[in-house]
Amino acid sequence: MKTVYDAGVLLAADRNDRRVWADHRLRLSAGLVPKTTAPVVAQVSRSHRQVQLRRFLRGCEVVAFSAADAHGTGALLARASLTDVVDAHLVDVARRTQSMVLTSDVEDIRRLSSQLPAPIEVRPVGM
């Protein structure tokens, strides 16, 4: 299944979590390149020394946050009564690409997803 990674997945990969790495390798072996977003990468990227994170990201497509995304992301936040632009953009990317979200922030991602015409699948990291 097509997947969009939230920050919790990237942090787990940076900590060298074996389950996250194994799941990632399975996706790549199946020809399913996971996506994440540039704002999510910005949330977790703190140093050039995060070698595991950078290695993990080589196997991902990083989706930019464009000017065209801004209004839709803001409208989604308003409908969900939330304020996290990074989460809303991630959910919008998952909606556009018909992907599920793998996250450690299940509650907020599901709340955002519930505001979509067709909610996306949301799974916790490690499931």
**Mean pLDDT confidence for 42-64:** 96
For 3-124, CATH gives 3.40.50.1010
Count the neighbouring beta carbons within 10 Å of the beta carbon of residue 125.
22
Q: Three-class SS string for 27-72?
A: HHHCCCCCEEEHHHHHHHCCCCCCHHHHHHHCCCEEECCCHHHHHH
Global pTM value: 0.95
pLDDT at 113 over 70: yes
What are 3's strand-pairing partners? Answer: 100
Q: Are 7 and 104 in contact (CB under 8 A)?
A: yes
Round to whole Å and give the CA distance between 39 and 17: 22
Mean pLDDT (the chain, rounded)? 96
Token pair, residue 65, equals 């946050």
Query: 67-103: per-residue pLDDT in tens?
Result: 999 999 999 999 999 999 999 999 999 999 999 999 9
pLDDT at 127 over 60: no
Residue 18: predicted pLDDT: 96
Count the neighbouring beta carbons within 10 Å of the beta carbon of residue 75.
13
Angle at CA of residue 54, ends 52 and 59, nearest 5°: 100
**Mean pLDDT confidence for 51-71:** 97
Q: Helix-strand-coil percent breakdown of the chain, rounded to 5? A: 55, 15, 35
